Structure 1
Amino acid sequence: MPEQNIARCWFNGRLVNPAEPQISVYDHGLLYGDGVFEGIRFYHRRAFRLQAHLERLQHSARAIALAMPYATDALAAAVDEVIAASPLDDGYLRLVVTRGAGSLGIDPRSCAQGNAFIVADRIGFTSAAQRQAGLSVIVAAIRRLPTDGLDPRVKSLNYLNHVLARMEATRAGADEALLLNAQGRITEGSGDNVFVVRRGELLTPPGIDGALEGITRGVVLELAASLGLPAREASLAPYELYTADECFLTGTAAELLPVREIDGRALDICPGPVTQAIESAFSALIARECGEPAETAA
């Protein structure tokens, strides 16, 4: 359940209590997962890489022929409004756009107007102890949806295969699950992208294999270039993970998470030097783009 004392919500143009908005039971976002979303971090009361998130939201909506009920500038202003109303200095935003209410049946032509809402809250992806020790990861039996069925660049409201993969990890006593595509290549985690270091090179699966083009993933590739670290997209099998020098996960909710073992196979070092260098550069980037905490900025 959300923490009602800290959660803030913007719904169709106005700030409301998170318990107040009412979505129709005929909303196709609820009935069929017909909608798109973005997860956005804010630090020191400033959204991180907001324009990149809003651009991806627009692209996701266009890809599924969903008419956005609000322009990008209006959504950016709404994000600022929610952050300003929140008591949190650092937190997480979930921006959701649904197809809207319509007739029963999957034909969306009866949906006259979409709904949009933004929730500001904390998100507990992992504990501090897990971050320090590194994550235990499994390769899930559940597969990623094929790219010729649903393009992974669309952040739709249907995350069922990712939910099932995360449940599989929990049953196995692991912290996270990685999903394969139909060809047995690594795509991504249940809520994050994956990077490995092999022979001094930083590798991450390409979108064509089924990986979301994550905002944080893109930031890591930028930071690697700035640090002079060889980095590229590459198709990866589980073998490349089992024999990696380092492995870490990235995502808006996850930020950067080192991995200590994959399918019971321990990595030699966690976190490794490349992971630590990227994490340090990531923290410095946040400070540059979002400012320092109030007590250290003076």
Structure 2
Amino acid sequence: MKTWIDGRVVGVAEAAVNVTDHGLLYGDGVFEGMRVAAGRVFRIERHLARLEVGARALGIALPRSPAELRAIVEETARAHGEREAYVRLVVTRGVGPLGVDPTTCERPGLFCIVGSIRLFSEEQRQRGLDLITSSHRRPNADALDMRVKSLNYLGSALAKLEARQRGADDALLLNARGHVSEATVANVFALRGDVLATPPATDGCLEGINRAAVMDIARSIGLTVVERSLGRLDLFAADEAFLTGTGAGVIAMRSLDGRTIGGGERGPVTARLTAMHRRLAESEGVEIIPPGGDQA
């Protein structure tokens, strides 16, 4: 695992963040999680564009240009040296005195981590995930807009804890109106017939980069893709359901709250979308780590 911080790439044990950084103290900052697949960073431009919008929404001026941020990501990924990896690019409000006031921080903080991430095992990927509906709700957009990928993931962490304590793989989060928002760190899709539905961002989900990629792939194979509000009933009625995300990739849901979804296993459309999404990630973008370049 490697980290870019203060202008150089070091091992994580050498990287240090000031304890008065408001990103640590108050969750005041934004980040992007990106995937290195077959030596390529998947859709880095879209990730950086979303980071810029999130920073602007929080009133944080990015400390580097998009070209410089891209170079930092690629430099850190090369130093890590593995063709399959996870990237986390983080921008914080910066170091400041105790107190929530953002105006006391003189300049934003910036660091990039590249390492391995394994949200789910290969067995889980083959059989599909068992989810529970979390008791934690996604806030309304006027309280906290989930389209901003902020450092505040407490709701997701508590929902994941609840799922694990109840013997499930992950949790489904609803919004205040009872509509499906997303899983803990992934978008949700439900397939019924040839219609593939996913919640709109206004229902409390992140506008996922992989979500958009899968929507495009689904259209290319003749599915009708719609963004509309979903309830738990829509998942129970689905022929297939799955999650998408940078860490999750495309992974099937086999049950929710002990009730089987579809055939209770990864369905043929989910399997096809999984394979096509992987091929897209392996072919799109500039190859920054050539074959045989793994250091691990």
Which residue is 1:40 aligned to? 34
Distance in 2 between residues matched to 1:209 and 1:32, nearest whole Å: 25
Deviations 1:142-186 (A, max 9, x none): 101211111111000010011000001001100010100000000
Q: What is the distance in 1 between the residues matched to 2:60 and 2:249?
A: 29
- Does the CA contact (< 8 Å) of 2:249 and 2:274 recur in 1? no
TM-score by length of 2: 0.94
1:142 matched to which residue of 2? 136
Give SS of 1:184's match.
coil
> What's the TM-score, normalizing by structure 1?
0.94
Q: Does 1:20 pair with 2:14?
A: yes
Pick from 284, 287, 294: which aligns with 1:289?
Answer: 284
Q: Percent identity?
A: 46
* 2:61 match: secondary structure: coil
* Contact 1:147-1:210 within 8 A present in 2 as well: yes
Residue aligning to 1:3: none
Please name the residue that 2:267 is paired with.
Answer: 272
1:252 aligns with 2:246: yes
Q: Is the 8 A contact 2:29 2:92 kept in 1?
A: yes
1:46–1:83 CA contact under 8 A, matched in 2: no
Q: Distance in 1 between matches of 2:84 and 2:275?
A: 18
**1:226 Cα offset (Å):** 1.3
2:67 counterpart of 1:73: yes
Which runs of no fewer than 5 residues in structure 2 stay unpaired?
A: none
Higher relative CO (CA 8 A, sep ≥ 6), structure 1 or 2? 2
CA distance in 2, matches of 1:156, 1:89: 27
How large is the RMSD of aligned CA atoms in angstroms? 1.4
Q: Is the 8 A contact 1:93 1:120 kept in 2?
A: yes
Give the Cα–Cα distance (whole angstroms) in 2 for the partners of residues 283 and 217 of structure 1.
Answer: 13
Quote the offset at 1:35 in angstroms. Answer: 0.4
Is the contact made by 1:180 and 1:186 (CA closer than 8 Å) also made in structure 2? yes
Q: Is the alpha carbon distance of 1:293 and 1:276 closer, same or farther for their aligned partners in structure 2, counting shifts above 3 Å?
A: farther
Uncovered stretches (5+) of structure 1, i.e. residues with no partner: 1-6
Q: Assess if the C-alpha contact under 8 Å between 1:178 and 1:188 holds in 2.
A: yes
